[in-house]
Amino acid sequence: MLRTRESQVLDFCLGQTKRFDARAWLAMPVAEREFWALVAFFMSGGQRFGHRDDLLAVAQSLRPNCAGDFAELVRRFDFDCSRFDAMLQDRITHERAVAEVHRPKNR
């Protein structure tokens, strides 16, 4: 996956970890549905992302049998699962740290 594309996908997914919206996933262009099904299915496997059942439903809606075709989709889209997982986790951690710094202190 190209780095610019990866950054866009990470931004979208970070937003979804904050406020999940299945409609945003389902509104993806038809030409990109298989890719987004792959991302949704991948994220559904990570407990730290939450929304497991919702993400599975999104993946199934975007690409029926996404689970069975996962390995094929990973190859087709050159999706580096480990890299994506680590980068998304880094962004989540960073966002939480920034939020903590800016949280008002109780006195």
pLDDT single digits (tens) 40-81: 999 999 877 889 999 999 999 999 999 999 999 999 999 999
Distance, CA of 14 to CA of 25 (rounded, Å): 13
Task: Please state the pTM of the whole predicted model.
Answer: 0.88
Average pLDDT, the chain: 91
Q: Quote helix, strand, coil % in the chain, to nearest 5.
A: 75, 0, 25
